[in-house]
Amino acid sequence: MGILEGKRILVTGVITDSSIAFHVARMCQEQGATVLLTGYGRLSLVERVAQRLPEAPPVLELDVTDNEHLDSLSSRIAEHVDGIDGIVHAIAYTPQEALGGNFLNAGWDDVATAVHTSAFSLKALTTAVLPLMKQGGSVVAMDFDNSVSYPVYDWMGVAKSALTSTARYLARYVGEDQVRVNMVSAGPLRTMAARSIPGFDELADAWPQRAPLGWDTSDPEPAARAVTALLSDWFPATTGEVVHVDGGFHSTGA
Binding residues for NAD(+): 13, 19-20, 63-64, 91, 160
Q: Which residues are annotated as a binding site?
A: 13, 19-20, 63-64, 91, 160
Please state, as a whole number, how many other Cβ atoms lie within 10 Å of the Cβ of residue 88: 31
Q: What are phi and psi of 248, to 5 degrees?
A: 90, 5
Q: Can you give the three-state secondary structure of the chain, one letter per residue? A: CCCCCCCEEEECCCCCCCCHHHHHHHHHHHCCCEEEEEECCCHHHHHHHHCCCCCCCCEEECCCCCHHHHHHHHHHHCCCCCCCCEEEECCCCCCHHHCCCCCCCCCHHHHHHHHHHHHHHHHHHHHHHHHHCCCCEEEEEEECCCCCCCCCCHHHHHHHHHHHHHHHHHHHHHHHHCEEEEEEEECCCCCHHHHCCCCHHHHHCCHHHHCCCCCCCCCCHHHHHHHHHHHCCCCCCCCCCEEEECCCHHHCCC
